[in-house]
Amino acid sequence: MAGTPEEHADKKNIGIKINHLDLTVPEGITILEAAHKAGVKIPTLCHLDLHDIKMVNKTASCRVCMVELVDSKNNRNKIVPACVTKVSEGMEILTSSLRAITTRRMSVELLLSNHPNECFTCPKNRECELQALAAELGIREIRWEGERMDYPKDLSSGAIVKDSNKCIYCRRCETMCNEVQTCGILSGIGRGFDAHVGPAFNIPMVESSCTYCGQCVQVCPTAALTEVNHTDKVWEALNDPDKHVIVQTAPAIRVTIGEMFNMEPGTIVTGKLVTALKRMGFNTVFDTDFGADLTIMEEAAELIYRLNNNKTLPMLTSCCPAWVKFIEHQFPELLDIPSTCKSPHIMFGTIIKTYYAEKNGIDPDNIVIVSVMPCIAKKAETKRPELTKDEHNNVDIVVTTRELGLMIKEAGLDFESLPDSEYDKPLGETTGASVIFGTTGGVIEAAIRTAYEWITGGELKKVEFEQLRGAAGLRKATVQVGDKTLRIGIASGLGNARTLLEEIRDGKAEYEAIEIMACPGGCIAGGGQPYHHGNFEIVKKRQEAIYQEDRNKKIRKSHENSEILKLYKEYIGEPFNDTAHRLLHTHYEERERI
Amino acid sequence: MKINSLDKLKKIRNEYQKNVCLRVNSTDSENSDIRIEILIGMATCGISAGAKDTFNAFQEELAKQGVNDAKVVSVGCIGYCHSEPTVQVNIRGREPVLYGNVKKEEVQEIVQKHIKGGNPIEALTLAINFERA
Amino acid sequence: MVEISNNKKLLRIALRNCGLLNPEDIFEYIALGGYESLGKAITQMTQDQVIDEIKKSGLRGRGGGGFPTGLKWELTKKQKSQEKFIICNADEGDPGAFMDRSILEGDPHSVLEAMAIGGYAIGARKGLIYIRAEYPLAIARLSTALQQAGENGLLGENIFGTDFSFDIYLKYGAGAFVCGEETALINSCEGKRGEPNYKPPYPVEEGYWGYPTCVNNVETFANIAPIITKGAQWFASLGTEKCKGTKVFALVGKIKNVGVIEVPMGTTLREIIYDIGGGIPGGRKFKAVQTGGPSGGVIGEANLDTPMDYDSLISIGSMMGSGGMIIMDETDNMVKIAKFYLEFTMDESCGRCTPCRIGTKRLYEILNKITSRKGTMADLDALKQLAYMVKDGSLCGLGQTAPNPVISTMKYFWDEYLAFIKDVDHPRGEGRYTAKNKIGIRS
Ligand SMILES: Cc1cc2nc3c(=O)[nH]c(=O)nc-3n(C[C@H](O)[C@H](O)[C@H](O)COP(=O)(O)O)c2cc1C
Ligand code: SF4
Ligand code: SF4
Ligand code: FES
């Protein structure tokens, strides 16, 4: 709920009544917050308060949280939305009067009267807030029959599905897209009964400047915004005897997929995840952490190269495809500052289809690589022209944590009771540095761990850089590396990224290195992660788990990963050399801003 | 020219007073420069009912019939949408007369009989009776 | 000879110059005393004195809500802010209303002068006029007036040699009815989607680009200058106890004298319709009058002696609105009338909130079912319940008032609803059916 205790500390207290109960509450809070304190639950739908990432949806549009305000003086009680109405001295609130309940229920009935009756087959079945609300309010009949919205599904992006017929017009996505991510793609279009959410002029998503970060999907209460489902493609590949199907799992999956099976948020389930994948029939189970270590080798080398040769600084990390697309659309003039490194899973995909395939005598054309990602943007990333023009520098299918969770259920595996197993080798060794890729601040910390030792030639004793950690969306820190002071910026959330980029563009601040993740909080809060349903505490627990996993690792620096070193020795040579460029680096293109 | 004081405003008011005093009180306006004033309602309602044609017709007709002490003024809507275009004729020393439904065909007669002849055309007049603040 | 009015029921304050002066000539306006109020206000009165005068006059907003204008000015003045704005609401979206247009076309300077007075009183340096683009003539005349006022130093820097500077800009609306709602209007002025916001914060607290903003209607402004010159007392002596001054109405529909009138507050509907409007044409019988446009309700014969003021109208289930008045005769079917208005609000809904977006649609669909003689008593129940829910639950005034035509016709013309219903035997049907009293039904 909004408003931490500190925020209200200096506010004076006032007396109100909720359902005839006298209460003393701080001035300035909403009726909803006051009721919460009194242990009274008022149902909500459009309201969403993610104050950790400065996203509070105040549209007050669903009219589900309606309560009755007593006005005995004028003998005219009023119905008001609890989510935005502030308490005032002497206010008398009835949360379950007949009039309040009727208004509330009828709002839900009206929404249902314009909602497809397809819960059975809906991707949000049992995750849908509208469905839950209907159950909670005991809606047994929809009395209003009539026209329903009838818009075609927009699957154009290959990443996000927009099914406007399921839009309840809460505008959470709009708030997220405009205020937090500052992309300005989704906004209200059409008027009256035709109002729904989409890009300007209702152009297909693919033609917009959407980054596919998927944060709108994270906050949409219904299935109006979901990810494109690719699970069937995975099942097909698994059932094709000619295919060698390799799966890799991103760093952030091991601390979140447990939630798909009702495990406590923040439970580390790496071993069970590997077992599940093996039992599902994947020929090989790899860890994208290996790709992350490889990324660090390249990124650290690139940073040192840029530092030593007076090249463009700062260097921006490039692991996040949503962020890459953002800069292409929004700051095309700054395209020379991101690192040219491919994202970790694409690097790994390339190494699998070249080095690994050669070594194991597998025809790369028969390899199908499935990436399990916390991310929706990675689905679109694999369709980027520079990654598709040559067949062996890419992955084939991307599924999200949520999709994999469903597949594990489909496979009939009782996840919680699965034994642990280890990722396959070779290319199975990973480090603590790569695990922390899953959280904001992690990529840059991993890079510094390596760059430090390469620059100074000495050993880094304390690998944890506390100054790079934290939950704030925009952080600045300096790290002393030998005689160099590295000024580092860290942004999670594209709005924060915009702030940093504007500073750089306008010459207002100087940095040597910058880490950007599109999702507020990093990949642990990615668009493809299990729905947190507005509870950001869950995300914090995931972050703690990531750092725990780092501490659990024997090797915590990427350049000490023996299999990485072997790969360089046998195949690539030196980091950032020509072979590395051919295999592991990419380029960006200017895009229109729509 | 900037009006930068109340006095200056009042001076201008006095200066232009004679342009409008027929309208304020036509029965007593010896100091008016103009003897006859023809006000034509030219708001959206009037114009859509043909007030522009009426306006032009008056100018032509006055010239044709050699009336050179009358002025045609375009004004806003007087509110009688049911009888647009409306035309008000103010003649010095006389009660103003308001006509309704004055299409360009009616103009010739009004100029001839009323403006030149001094006899309002009963059939076309509207009785008005209101106070202005 | 057409007799308009033989007793002095008409009194022109807001319309004082309409039809009298050439709106494209600032000197005619000055010759009739124009801009003297502004001069008086800014050279001889303090901001508080101006506000006090307006407060004492008892002037209430003519845009529909009837909020005391002086109080609104005072609230805006009290806000601590570097910048403040005053906005003239010239959106006028009610079907059948054209009072504001008449004023803007006939006497644009009266609005400009009043905005400057208001700007001075509240401490604003900038004013905006939000006008619908469908009013080209009003826009042209306003532009001319703005230019002439600027050239003559009556707007701009250091007006009347004081350190008060004030400029006015035009903003064009695309003609959405809901953009007349003040928060929607401000959103639209800022180039955002024209939809209302939840209030509070009210515009006087956080308005245009977050600054304190006072929004007033065209007609409200047109009353300001006479109050300043003639004094609050004069104004307060007109009208009724709670509603001072006059109100402009646009009479349309089944009435002989279609047009714009201005009468003292408290004039009864009967006087307006029969004495001023000339009654119903074609010898037909009067049936009802809709005041307040699509947001108002119908008023039948029984309430014709209600004095026209904000509170009396609300007490009989209608509202003043901005002053559109549509007269219906015995040939009009009230269920179809309700449907007509509902179709309008349904189409004009911005869609933001559930009750209005989906609720008005469902109301319309039920009415459609009823008028196609497929409706049942259960539909009437549903209609009634939903109408009250949309009223209670909507976010802005549009949705909150959209069901008024339905509710008031159900109240006064229940019989006409029954006549469409297939499962009652009309007219004997009454009483034979007991409504399923589902929760929330109020009458
Ligand atoms: C749906 C809706 C439409 C409105 N349209 C207008 C309008 O066209 N003109 C207007 O002056 N006020 C309109 N209003 C009222 C304004 O919100 C606001 O109250 C008014 O402009 C304030 O001015 P006043 O205090 O001078 O009346 C509308 C309100 C609603 C809810
Ligand atoms: S798409 Fe989803 S989040 Fe966006 S307005 Fe519709 S229901 Fe709300
Ligand atoms: S009541 Fe209607 S017009 Fe007003 S906010 Fe709701 S949907 Fe929009
Ligand atoms: S939750 Fe309050 S209006 Fe939607």
Can you give the pLDDT at residue B26? 65
Ligand 2 site, residue A205, Cβ cutoff 6 A: no
Which are the contacts of A523, defined by CB distance < 8 A and separation ≥ 6? Answer: A250, A251, A252, A320, A374, A375, A437, A438, A439, A517, A529
Residue nearest to atom 3 of ligand 4 (CA): A60
Q: Is the pLDDT of residue A9 over 70?
A: no
Interval C412-432 mean pLDDT: 70
Say if B88 falls within a structural domain.
yes
* Residues having CB within 6 Å of any atom of ligand 1: C 61-65, 67, 72, 89, 91-93, 177-178, 180-182, 215-217, 220, 322, 396-398
The phi and psi torsions of A48 (rounded to 5 degrees) equal -150, 125
Interval C373-394 mean pLDDT: 93
The phi and psi torsions of A145 (rounded to 5 degrees) equal -100, 150
Residue of B nearest to C225 (CA): B133
Say if B66 falls within a structural domain.
yes
Which ligand has an atom closest to residue C357 CA?
3
User: C233: burial class by Cβ within 10 Å (0-12, 13-18, 19+)?
Assistant: exposed
Ligand 3 site, residue C399, Cβ cutoff 6 A: yes
Can you give the pLDDT at residue B20? 83
Yes or no, beta carbons of A192 and C176 under 8 Å apart: no
Q: What residues of chain C lie within 8 A of the CB of A113, using their CB?
A: 358, 362
**Mean pLDDT, chain C, integer:** 91
Can you give the pLDDT at residue A144? 86
The model's pLDDT over C336-368, given as tens digits with 9 standing for 90+, comes to 999 999 999 999 999 999 999 999 999 999 999
Q: Break chain A into its structural domains and give their ranges.
A: 5-111, 232-584
The model's pLDDT over A341-360, given as tens digits with 9 standing for 90+, comes to 999 999 999 999 999 999 99
Say if B14 falls within a structural domain.
no
The model's pLDDT over B51-63, given as tens digits with 9 standing for 90+, comes to 999 999 999 999 9
Q: Is the pLDDT of residue C427 over 60?
A: no
Yes or no, beta carbons of B82 and C256 under 8 Å apart: yes
Q: Would you report the helix, strand and coil content of chain A in percent, each value rounded to 5? A: 40, 15, 45
Q: Is the pLDDT of residue A2 over 50?
A: no
Can you give the pLDDT at residue C314? 87
Q: Is the pLDDT of residue A370 over 60?
A: yes
The domain defined by A5-111 carries CATH number 3.40.1010.10: no
**Mean pLDDT, chain A, integer:** 92
The model's pLDDT over C93-109, given as tens digits with 9 standing for 90+, comes to 888 788 999 999 999 99
Can you give the pLDDT at residue B27? 65
Measure C130 CA to nearest chain B CA, in Å.
Answer: 19
Q: Is the pLDDT of residue A290 over 80?
A: yes
The model's pLDDT over A23-46, given as tens digits with 9 standing for 90+, comes to 999 999 999 999 999 999 999 999
Say if B117 falls within a structural domain.
yes
Measure B65 CA to nearest chain C CA, in Å.
Answer: 25
What does the CA dihedral C24, C30, C34, C37 come to, rounded to 10 degrees? 140
Q: How many CB atoms lie within 10 A of CB A471?
A: 18
Residue of C nearest to A77 (CA): C392
Query: Is C23 at the interface with chain B, CB within 8 A?
Result: yes
Instruction: Give me the residue from C176, C351, C395 closest to A195, CB to CB.
Output: C351
The model's pLDDT over A262-285, given as tens digits with 9 standing for 90+, comes to 999 999 999 999 999 999 999 999
The model's pLDDT over B74-112, given as tens digits with 9 standing for 90+, comes to 999 888 888 899 999 988 888 889 999 999 999 999 999
Q: Is the pLDDT of residue A481 over 90?
A: no
Yes or no, beta carbons of C351 and A188 under 8 Å apart: yes
Q: How many domains does chain B have?
A: 1
At A550, the pLDDT band (50, 70, 90 cuts) reads confident
**Positive or negative CA dihedral for C54, C58, C62, C68?**
positive
Yes or no, beta carbons of B74 and C24 under 8 Å apart: yes
What's the length of chain A?
594
**Positive or negative CA dihedral for A3, A5, A9, A14?**
positive
Q: Is the pLDDT of residue C438 over 70?
A: no
Q: Is the pLDDT of residue A403 over 60?
A: yes
Enter the tokens of residue A317. Answer: 């990390």
Say if B42 falls within a structural domain.
yes
Can you give the pLDDT at residue C96? 79
CATH classification of the domain holding B77? 3.40.30.10
Ligand 3 site, residue C394, Cβ cutoff 6 A: yes
Q: What is the largest CA-CA distance in chain B?
A: 49
Can you give the pLDDT at residue C203? 97
Between chain A and chain B, are at least 3 CB pairs below 8 A?
Answer: no
Can you give the pLDDT at residue C65? 85
The phi and psi torsions of C139 (rounded to 5 degrees) equal -65, -45
Can you give the pLDDT at residue B35? 84
The model's pLDDT over B32-47, given as tens digits with 9 standing for 90+, comes to 667 889 999 999 989 9
From residue B115, how far is each of B42, B54, B101 by CA, in Å?
A: 20, 15, 17
Interval A301-325 mean pLDDT: 91
Q: Is the pLDDT of residue A1 over 70?
A: no
Identical topology for domains A5-111 and A232-584: no
The domain defined by A232-584 carries CATH number 3.30.420.40: no
Q: How far apart are CA C177 and CA C95, in angstroms?
A: 9
Q: Quote the domain boundaries for residue B60.
A: 33-124
Can you give the pLDDT at residue C174? 84
Q: Is the pLDDT of residue A219 over 50?
A: yes
At C135, the pLDDT band (50, 70, 90 cuts) reads very high
Residue-range domains of chain C with CATH: 26-236 (3.40.50.11540), 246-329 (3.10.20.600), 334-421 (1.20.1440.230)
Which DSSP helix (H) or strand (E) runs through C220?
helix C218-222
Between chain C and chain A, are at least 3 CB pairs below 8 A?
Answer: yes
Enter the tokens of residue C156. Answer: 């701009």
